[in-house]
Amino acid sequence: MIKKLTLTIAILFCFSLLQGQHTFSIVAVDSVTGEIGSAGATCGDTITWPGTLGAMIISDVIPGTGAIHTQAYHNETNQENAHDLMVEGNSPQEIIDWLVENDAQGAPSYRQYGIVDYNDGSPRSAAFTGSNCDDYKNHVLGPNYAIQGNILLGQEVLDSMENNFNETEGPLHAKLMAAMQGANMVGADTRCTSEGTSSLSSFLRVAQPDDDPEDLWLELWVGATDEGEEPIDVLQEMYDNFFATGIGNRDLMQARVEVYPNPAHRIVTLEFTETTPDRMVVVDAAGQRVMVEKVFGLKNRVELNVEGLKKGFYIIRSYRDDTVLNNSKIFVK
């Protein structure tokens, strides 16, 4: 009986470890503007964790404070503990030291962390790569960034990301997008070599100092892609569109729509104060369209019935003449 119980525990432990492997990523801070950034990609299963947005599960951005990535056998409790430690004022290295000593499953050698903080304009960074993370594994640090990865093609993935980040002029979001393009090579995550892509899911997030943690200024993700489609290229297209359409102007984004109730159970109402939409598209956590609603006439108030959707996070994209007006994150309960 004891042997069976031990075996059961071992199986459950291994299963919980295998649920969340995520591959290459970067966290960074702009010491002048106070912006905090986070980006990454994975070839892992993007729907293993219901209610999450693909690779973005690893990302925790705390506006005005810092960012934390918990990857390689991601553990939610470890991520929550890291968040609390940062809010309490601990440095990135202090957070990592605590996590290694107090791993939620007693398995720190399977974890990988990348952490940065703003620290009143004097950024600090730290990273950790456990010995049991899958090869190739490593991390690189700069004064205001941490880049880390596992299951990689090789060190060249991390080096290319770092070079692109440092050599790109401009705001933090541009440097992060360039870093992601640095990893745009077949098999960057070796599990995607047969797909002919770097990964399957990617994301890019940037918080301005006064952002609501649940409403970051820039939040783009590719939850899933078609066979052979490169998610970093899709992310680049979304990034370019974000700024080309004027959505990169925070004032416009904030003014355009109010969404309520959120969380929602049946009816979600969207009220537009400027341009009215002609089409609403609801996208699930895997990046798939689950609802398309045409809007007839110039309606400033649109109601969507989400009662048939499963519990979890969704994005409502509002369009006018094929231009994205707004991306609104909702939770269906």
Determine the pLDDT at residue 96: 97
218 DSSP β-pair partners: 206
Q: Would you call the peptide bond into 123 cis, given omega within 30 degrees of 0 as the criterion?
A: no
Segment 97-107, tens digit of pLDDT: 999 999 999 99
What is the number of other CB atoms lying within 10 angstroms of the CB of residue 181? Answer: 18
Determine the pLDDT at residue 47: 37
Q: What are phi and psi of 244, to 5 degrees?
A: -65, -30
| Protein fold of 20-244 | Glutamine Phosphoribosylpyrophosphate, subunit 1, domain 1 (3.60.20)
pLDDT band for position 140 (50/70/90)?
very high
**Which one has a higher pLDDT value, 211 or 124?**
124
Strands of the sheet with 267-272, listed across from one edge: 257-260, 267-272, 301-305
163 DSSP β-pair partners: none
Is the whole-model pTM more than 0.75?
Answer: no
What is the number of other CB atoms lying within 10 angstroms of the CB of residue 236? Answer: 20
Segment 277-309, tens digit of pLDDT: 889 999 876 667 889 989 887 778 899 999 888
Contact 264, 295 (CB under 8 A): no
Contact 232, 182 (CB under 8 A): no
Which of these, 229, 248, 251, 247, lies nearest to 318 by C-alpha position?
247
Determine the pLDDT at residue 54: 54
Contact 233, 220 (CB under 8 A): no
What's 253-332's CATH class?
Answer: mainly beta
Which ranges in the chain are annotated with CATH 2.60.40.3080?
253-332
- As given in the structure block, the two tokens for residue 180 are 């992601």
For the ranges 11-15, 55-59, 324-328, the lowest mean pLDDT is seen at 11-15
Which ranges in the chain are annotated with CATH 3.60.20.10?
20-244
Taking residues 201-208, report their average pLDDT: 92
Strand, coil or helix: 241 = helix
For the ranges 33-47, 126-140, 241-255, 313-327, the lowest mean pLDDT is seen at 241-255
Q: Is 196 left (phi over 0), alpha (psi -120 to 50) or beta?
A: left
Contact 166, 150 (CB under 8 A): no
